[in-house]
């Protein structure tokens, strides 16, 4: 009921013949709010789906790496591996070496791989879409010590 009173107070100084202008603006404003809310909902859902897909991809890549590491003769990779595959192989080996450690840091992983922490994060984001420590936490949650 207070909304109606507010609308009437908005219309107090308006003559009847020009009343359609504020009503149209009000309706357009409400439409804009609804469309914006729907769009925001889609963005949030897409982001959640993207996070799930990235996590699943990291788990799948790590599982494939462990299988290929244990059975190198069955590896489906050719000798012409791209940078992402080479990085992931080294990165996953490094994670496996540090799997039992609960508090491994990005500095320790970067030192082990002989690159800077910034290069580690950039290469990890390029190969997996996630920062290095997020990849480590995903792998540890699936295969190792709970953090």
Task: For 96-147, write each residue's pLDDT tens digit.
Answer: 887 777 788 888 888 888 889 999 898 888 888 888 898 888 888 887 655 4
Q: Which two tokens stand for residue 40?
A: 């925001």
Residue 3 within any structural domain of the chain: no
The whole-angstrom separation of Cα 121 and Cα 111 is 13
Residue 32 within any structural domain of the chain: no
Residue 88 within any structural domain of the chain: yes
Residue 139 within any structural domain of the chain: yes
pTM: 0.56
Q: Which long-range contacts (CB under 8 A, 24 or more apart) does 80-83 make?
A: 83/123
Residue 65 within any structural domain of the chain: yes
The whole-angstrom separation of Cα 16 and Cα 116 is 71
Residue 116 within any structural domain of the chain: yes
Give 13's DSSP letter. T
The whole-angstrom separation of Cα 99 and Cα 92 is 10
Count of domains observed in the chain: 1
pLDDT in tens, 22-78: 888 888 889 999 999 989 888 888 888 777 787 788 888 887 777 776 665 544 555
- Asked if the model's pLDDT at residue 82 lies above 70, the reply is yes
Residue 11 within any structural domain of the chain: no
Range of the domain at 131: 56-143
Residue 85 within any structural domain of the chain: yes
Per-residue pLDDT band at 18 (split at 50, 70, 90):
low
What pLDDT does 33 receive? 92
């Amino acid at each position: 009921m207070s909304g109606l009173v507010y609308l009437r107070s908005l219309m107090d100084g308006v003559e009847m013949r020009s009343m359609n202008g504020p009503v149209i603006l009000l309706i357009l404003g409400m439409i804009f709010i609804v469309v914006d809310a729907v769009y925001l909902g889609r963005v949030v859902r897409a982001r959640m789906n993207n996070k799930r897909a990235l996590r699943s991809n990291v788990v799948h890549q790590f599982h494939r790496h462990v299988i290929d590491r244990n059975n190198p003769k069955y590896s489906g990779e050719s000798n012409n591996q791209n940078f992402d595959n080479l990085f992931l192989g080294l990165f996953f080996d490094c994670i496996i070496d540090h799997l039992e450690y609960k508090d491994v840091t990005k500095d320790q992983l970067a030192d082990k791989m002989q690159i800077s922490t910034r290069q580690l994060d950039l290469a990890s984001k390029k190969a997996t879409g996630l920062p290095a420590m997020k990849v480590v936490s995903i792998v540890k949650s699936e295969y190792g010590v709970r953090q």
